Amino acid sequence: MTEKVLKPFTIDFDLITGHSETKNSTKRPLSKMKGMYADDVAFESAVQNDDQLVYEFYELDLPETPGNLLFGTSIVYPGKVGDEYFMTKGHFHTILDTGEVYYCLSGYGAMLMENPEGDWDIQYFSPGKGVYVPPRYAHRSINLGNDPLVTFFTFRADAGHDYGTIETKGYRKLVVERDGKPEIIDNPKWKE
Ligand SMILES: O=P(O)(O)OC[C@H]1O[C@](O)(CO)[C@@H](O)[C@@H]1O
Ligand SMILES: [Fe+2]
């Protein structure tokens, strides 16, 4: 079978909201994030209450081959579960040796990263900041502000997503609000 030749194309993403008027986003409400927040009681009551939309992202339907790049915007809404800020699930890439670039369009937040060797890091997003996620690092965007955190991302199209590791082990660190400010703490649920 011959591969379809991909033609150049252009897509719109709003610089503030991150939304496209021509594409559909994938939506993750709280109920899709069971077990990911430290406070299970606060989580269950928030799901029962209004099951808020935590984040959504645009990922284009491109062939997942090594030469292609997946790209789009990610929008994490402001909010908390207990004292833990709204965040994405986070993932490793199935091809672990994959880097990814994020560029912040609007809002304020952070990218929390950790690798299988036990190193972890946090980099902060504000408009105009580009964050590099090196190969081997799981990554999770966290909204630390009062407005949506909007980023543009791109990575190799064949990288794949590995959620299993994060779902079973969690992240080593959490970002919670203490005295009105973000603080990084050890995740009480983290398993070696
Ligand atoms: O995989 P998660 O943590 O649900 O977040 C999805 C985000 O990650 C990406 O896969 C980019 O790494 C985007 O498609 C999207 O912004
Ligand atoms: Fe990624």
Q: 179, exposed or middle or buried, with CB in 10 Å at 0-12, 13-18, 19+?
A: exposed
Q: Which of 53, 56, 152, 153 to mutate to test the pocket of ligand 1 (most atoms within 8 A of CB)?
A: 153
Determine the distance separating the centroid of ligand 2 and the alpha carbon of 23, expressed in angstroms. Answer: 20
**What's the rounded Cα separation, in Å, for the pair 141 and 147?**
14
Pair 151, 165: CB distance under 8 Å: no
H-run or E-run covering 27: strand 26-29
Helix (H, G, I), strand (E, B) or coil at 39: coil
Determine the distance separating the centroid of ligand 1 and the alpha carbon of 92, expressed in angstroms. Answer: 10
**What's the rounded Cα separation, in Å, for the pair 138 and 133?**
8
- Helices H, strands E: what count in the chain? 2, 13
- The verdict on ipTM greater than 0.90 is yes
Which domains does the chain possess?
26-186 (2.60.120.10)
Please choose, from the candidates 151, 51, 141, 38, the residue with its C-alpha nearest in 3D space to the C-alpha of residue 88. 141
Q: What is residue 3's predicted lDDT score, i.e. its pLDDT?
A: 63
Q: What is residue 165's predicted lDDT score, i.e. its pLDDT?
A: 82
Q: What is residue 139's predicted lDDT score, i.e. its pLDDT?
A: 98
Helix (H, G, I), strand (E, B) or coil at 166: helix
- Total-model pTM: 0.96
Q: What string of pLDDT tens digits covers the 192 residues of the chain?
A: 556 789 999 999 999 999 999 999 999 999 999 999 999 999 999 999 999 999 999 989 999 999 999 999 999 999 999 999 999 999 999 999 999 999 999 999 999 999 999 999 999 999 999 999 999 999 999 999 999 999 999 999 999 999 988 888 889 999 999 999 999 999 998 877
Q: Which two tokens stand for residue 43?
A: 């989580």
The count of other CB atoms within 10 Å of the CB of residue 168 is 9
Closest ligand (CA of 163): 1
Which atom of ligand 1 lies closest to the CA of 90?
3
Q: Which two tokens stand for residue 148?
A: 């949506």
Q: Is 18 in the pocket of ligand 1 (CB under 6 A)?
A: no
Q: What is residue 57's predicted lDDT score, i.e. its pLDDT?
A: 98
**What's the rounded Cα separation, in Å, for the pair 64 and 192?**
32
Q: What is residue 138's predicted lDDT score, i.e. its pLDDT?
A: 97
Q: What is residue 184's predicted lDDT score, i.e. its pLDDT?
A: 98
